[in-house]
Structure 1
Amino acid sequence: MKFTISKEYIDKRRRSPLFVACIIVVITTSAYLLGDWTFSGVFTFTILMLAFTVLPNWVGAKRHIEGARNHYIEVCDSSILSYGEGYKSETELGLVNSIVLNKNRSGIKSIILKADKRLIARLENYENIDELANLIMETIPNAKVTEKRWIHS
């Protein structure tokens, strides 16, 4: 079964630069209305802040979204295959001896696969992540499973 990046995550990543832009505009407008700055100073500062914070964030988000749309993973008998545009990688599940499930009220948020004391993979922001976790646990029956609750859940 193919597991793709969730639409909610893609939408959240798309809104991120707009949220930062709104915050900058609100802060600079309030500074102008409080009388601390002149209009030309506020306008110049707003343009510079938008150029140096929102523009790089927007470019990065656009690249990330394009890659996320083409990315998916599959769980096979002994490995997790990760596919993207122009690449395929494989993570051996035979090396995994512990699985950490990070949860909050709505369910599993991420799956961490560890071998000894090193991290092999961190799987997050996938659709049907609960089903993915069950499939991985069925594939590795002797792995130690730890469930962690986040403080802000």
Structure 2
Amino acid sequence: MERQSFPFTTKAEFLQHVSRCITRAEHKLTMFDPDFAIWELGSSATDTLLRHFLRAGGHLQLVAHDGHAVERDAPRFLRLIKDYGHLVEVRRSSQQLRQLTDSFCIADDRDIVRRFHADHFRGEAVFDGPEDTQTSSDRFITIWLESTPGLFANSTGL
């Protein structure tokens, strides 16, 4: 496949690209956002996509600074964590990482949707561009290693 790049500036475009990224994922999805408030993780459409991915044996890793928005607004996502706990790992970033403000979703180290700053919708989606995922993939590994298990009180007992 040939690399495809799509700049975006709106919430609708961001969510459309995230859905495409999840749909294309086969093995691994990694996601980072300060709070996932605008990701619509609790929508029925996202729930359907993630359940399909996880039923097929995919693995989801997610890190956020704060899980309150998801706890409050995404009960479907909390059920998904309970239903697929063996395939979903959720972490809270360490205090030292709280200054990070970017946001991204990476599928199979091949596709990426990233917002340059979590307070804005301006970003880029790249499909079939493994070289475009490298920097964010490396950052995710660092974020993951410096984060702690658990994020959502309803699902982890924190």
TM-score, normalised by the number of residues in structure 2 = 0.26
Flag the structure with more relative contact order, 1 or 2, with Cα contacts below 8 A and sequence separation at least 6.
2
Higher helix share: 1
* Bigger proportion of residues as strand: 1
TM-score with structure 1 length normalisation? 0.27
